[in-house]
Amino acid sequence: MTRTSLAILLAACMAATVGCSSKNYVKQQTTPLINKTNELDDMTAKNSKDIKDVDARVQSGLQAVNAKTADVEQKAQAANQSATAAQQTADNANNRVTVLDNTVANLDNYHAVAETSVKFGFNKDNLTPQAKQALDQLAGSIASTRGYIIALEGSTDSVGSEEYNYDLSERRANSVIQYLASKYNVPAHKMYVIGLGKDKPLESNKTKQGRADNRRVDVRLMTNTVGDTNQPTNPPTTGQNNPSSM
């Protein structure tokens, strides 16, 4: 082997050695960086998962708070409605007392000419044939009565709520008004209505017959004319049998 060939071989060996050394060096330098990058990726993934978990818990907590808030608001509204209803009931009761007082005060100037009591079926406000017959008999005295008014007191038995029975008693009285107005042309301003509900029972509500007797409207033909010789000394009372529906 010549010196030239030997020199070339030595140069090649040295180049190969230097190349391997460079690769090893690069590998040594980059491996920690790669590992660090992988660690950062893992930490980023973990942080993202933790953030999502926290966000999910926050959203769940907000939903629970919103649900409780809505429930509290709903209960507050219900309480407000109950208070309003109670106040309205109290106002209605006060109004009835005022109307009753005014009507009674006005009726003190009148005396009865004729009166009757018409009965109604359970939870009914329509006039029965017997009721119409009793009203016809009372209405026969209207034409000969001067300065008259007609007072009506509607009543119910004790079944049902107070408010419902007030309304039912007024509906029963209104049925009498409509009948007298349509058949005998009695003006509306001549009729005074008091819906007593179950406040003024005629008989005990503990028996079936007593409850039937309390489902009624008392009708009185009254006048403020004194010394009218056409009027009977003792006001007649017209009556009716209990309707068969009771």
User: What whole-number distance in Å separates Cα of residue 148 and Cα of residue 145?
Assistant: 6
- 59 vs 26, higher pLDDT: 59
147 in Cβ contact with 188 (< 8 Å):
no
Lowest model confidence (mean pLDDT) among 105-109, 157-161, 230-234: 230-234
Confidence category of residue 233, pLDDT binned at 50, 70, 90: very low
Q: pLDDT class for 244, splitting at 50, 70, 90?
A: very low
pLDDT for position 70? 76
Report which of residues 65 and 209 the model is more confident about.
Answer: 209
Asked if pLDDT for residue 103 goes beyond 70, the answer is: no
Q: 136-191: per-residue pLDDT in tens?
A: 999 999 989 998 999 999 999 999 999 999 999 999 999 999 999 999 999 988 89
How much of the chain exceeds pLDDT 70, in percent?
Answer: 67
116 sits in the region (left: phi over 0; alpha: psi -120 to 50; else beta) called beta
Domain chopping of the chain, boundaries: 16-93, 109-238
Q: Residue 42: pLDDT band by 50, 70, 90 thresholds?
A: confident
- For residue 28, the tally of other CB atoms under 10 A from its CB is 9
Pairwise CA distance, residues 158 & 210, whole Å: 10
**Looking at per-residue confidence, does 129 or 40 come out higher?**
129
Q: How confident is the model over 191-210, as a mean pLDDT? A: 88
Residue 75 has pLDDT above 90, yes or no: no
What is the CATH class of 109-238? alpha beta
Which carries the bigger pLDDT value, residue 157 or residue 76? 157
Phi, psi torsion values for 103, nearest 5 degrees: -65, -45
Q: How far apart are the first and last CA of the chain?
A: 143
- Cβ proximity of 118 and 131 under 8 Å: yes
Tokens of 156: 């119910």
User: Could you tell me which residue, 145 or 103, shows the higher pLDDT?
Assistant: 145
**For residues 213 and 215, what is the distance between their CA atoms, to the nearest angstrom?**
6
- What band does 96 get if pLDDT is binned at 50, 70 and 90? low
